[in-house]
């Protein structure tokens, strides 16, 4: 019996069941059980993520259940993981990635009236939309995906992950996916991440069977970028990597001020075998192009 720890939200359970089905297909006869876990991010649903610890608030208790031996594997949304693995755990599989784009629900961006309200719990989304449309007003938004869909402001919109809508087969009347060229996604957005204990060779081998190299390389580049920038959910940071037609790995990284008045975007490419080097290189470009001063000013205010 392989025990999979997961958050208990509808989307998290979908993701855990998806990983379970991949594992069962890779090893017929394998028995898999889900172990739902409540996290700090779930318990403090009414507080902005960056105020309760930022990146990591949805994964700590799930990881601890594996480290304590109550589960064998932890299943996460890869975007929720800090860029450096927790001690004692290994990121053993990145099995698949959905649509990484953000999406507006309730109205198209071009159809929002001047001063319209957009609800989002993400500093990154808010900063980029404020840069594109300085006239917009913003309010905080938390809760699971179905709860958020019920909080579309009158005459306004909310911002959600496109992959969440697709995985849960939700179809609001008005949805506009925002191209990654327009709005840089969160690092590792739409990817699934599977961790297990270091030294658990049997589980590591089992998870290797569902690891997807075409997902791992871009996600590792994005995570390396975030690690080098030193940001999380408390700062407007984004990164999106993809494989080019000639087999290279391309990464665009973003750092913005919270009000969206300053946005630094830089990109580079490397061989697909060098995702960490690519992430560090793009971070250096961003930092050297005004990002370092931007970080200093934002952290000085906090």
Mean pLDDT within 195-204: 97
Are 92 and 107 contained in the same domain? Answer: no
Mean pLDDT within 8-14: 95
Q: Is residue 62 part of a domain?
A: yes
- Compute the distance between CA of residue 166 and CA of residue 126 in angstroms, rounded to an integer: 22
Are 106 and 88 contained in the same domain? Answer: no
Q: Is residue 183 part of a domain?
A: no
Are 107 and 124 contained in the same domain? Answer: yes
Burial class of residue 198, CB neighbours in 10 A (0-12, 13-18, 19+):
middle
Are 128 and 13 contained in the same domain? Answer: no
- Compute the distance between CA of residue 261 and CA of residue 132 in angstroms, rounded to an integer: 9
Q: Is the pLDDT of residue 269 over 80?
A: yes
Q: Is the pLDDT of residue 53 over 50?
A: no
Share of the chain above pLDDT 70, in %: 92
**Confidence band of 281 (pLDDT split at 50, 70, 90):** very high
Are 62 and 115 contained in the same domain? Answer: no
Q: How many domains does the chain have?
A: 3
Mean pLDDT within 1-18: 96
259: left (phi over 0), alpha (psi -120 to 50) or beta: alpha
**205 Cα distance to chain centroid:** 25
Mean pLDDT within 4-32: 97
In the prediction, which pLDDT does 52 show? 41
Q: Is residue 70 part of a domain?
A: yes
Are 201 and 142 contained in the same domain? Answer: no
In the prediction, which pLDDT does 168 show? 97
In the prediction, which pLDDT does 234 show? 66
> Which 3 state secondary structure label does DSSP give 255?
strand
In the prediction, which pLDDT does 122 show? 93
pLDDT in tens, 219-250: 999 999 999 998 655 689 999 999 998 889 99
| DSSP letter string, 153-220 | PTT-EEEEEHHHHHHTT---S-EEEEPTTTSPPPTTTTBEEEEEETT-HHHHHHHHTT--HHHHHHHH
In the prediction, which pLDDT does 57 show? 72
pLDDT in tens, 72-87: 999 999 999 999 989 9
Q: Is residue 239 part of a domain?
A: yes
Q: Is residue 65 part of a domain?
A: yes
Q: Looking at residue 260, which CATH number applies to its domain? A: 3.30.160.40
Q: Is residue 129 part of a domain?
A: yes
Identify the bridge partners of residue 137 per DSSP, sorted by sequence position: 117
pLDDT in tens, 135-163: 999 999 988 899 999 999 999 999 999 99
Q: Is residue 259 part of a domain?
A: yes
Please answer whether residues 165 and 104 qualify as being in contact, where contact means their C-beta atoms are separated by less than 8 angstroms. no
Q: Is the pLDDT of residue 112 over 60?
A: yes
Q: Judge whether 211 counts as a catalytic residue.
A: no
Are 26 and 144 contained in the same domain? Answer: no
Which stretches of the chain are DSSP H helices? 10-26, 40-43, 60-67, 123-132, 145-149, 162-167, 201-208, 213-229, 275-286, 292-301
Q: Is the pLDDT of residue 40 over 70?
A: no
Are 170 and 231 contained in the same domain? Answer: no
Are 241 and 201 contained in the same domain? Answer: no
Are 157 and 260 contained in the same domain? Answer: no
Are 72 and 27 contained in the same domain? Answer: yes
Q: Looking at residue 120, which CATH number applies to its domain? A: 3.40.190.10
Sign of CA dihedral 162, 34, 75, 38: positive
Query: Which member of 80, 99, 102, 234 is catalytic?
Result: 80
Burial class of residue 204, CB neighbours in 10 A (0-12, 13-18, 19+):
middle
Are 92 and 195 contained in the same domain? Answer: yes
Q: Is residue 56 part of a domain?
A: yes
Q: Is the pLDDT of residue 51 over 50?
A: no
Q: Which domain holds residue 116?
A: 102-178
CA angle (240, 244, 246) in 5-degree steps: 160
């Amino acid at each position: 019996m392989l025990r999979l720890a997961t958050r208990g939200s509808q989307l998290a359970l979908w993701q855990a069941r998806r990983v379970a089905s991949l594992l069962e297909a890779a090893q017929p006869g394998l028995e898999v059980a889900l172990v739902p876990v409540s996290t700090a991010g779930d318990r403090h649903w009414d507080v902005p993520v960056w105020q309760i610890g930022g990146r990591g608030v949805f994964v700590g208790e799930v990881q601890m259940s594996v480290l304590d031996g109550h589960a064998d594997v932890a299943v996460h949304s890869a975007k929720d993981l800090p860029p450096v693995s927790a001690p004692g755990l290994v990121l053993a599989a990145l099995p698949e990635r959905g649509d990484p784009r953000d999406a507006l629900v309730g109205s198209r961006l071009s159809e929002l009236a001047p001063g319209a309200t957009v609800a989002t719990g993400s500093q990154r989304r808010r900063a980029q939309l404020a840069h594109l449309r300085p006239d917009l007003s913003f309010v905080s938004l938390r809760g699971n995906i179905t709860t958020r869909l019920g909080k579309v402001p009158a005459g306004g919109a909310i911002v959600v992950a496109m992959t969440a809508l697709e995985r849960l087969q939700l179809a609001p009347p008005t949805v506009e996916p925002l191209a990654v060229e327009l709005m840089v996604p969160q690092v590792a957005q739409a990817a699934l991440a599977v961790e297990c204990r270091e030294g658990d060779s049997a589980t590591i081998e089992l998870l290797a069977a569902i690891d997807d190299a075409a997902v791992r390389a871009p996600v590792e580049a994005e995570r390396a970028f975030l690690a080098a920038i030193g940001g999380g959910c408390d700062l407007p940071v984004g990164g999106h990597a993809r494989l080019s037609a000639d087999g290279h790995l391309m990464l665009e990284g973003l750092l913005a001020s919270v009000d969206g008045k300053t946005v630094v975007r830089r990109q580079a490419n490397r061989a697909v075998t060098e995702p960490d080097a690519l992430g560090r290189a793009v971070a250096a470009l961003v930092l050297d192009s005004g990002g370092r001063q931007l970080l200093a000013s934002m952290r000085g205010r906090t």
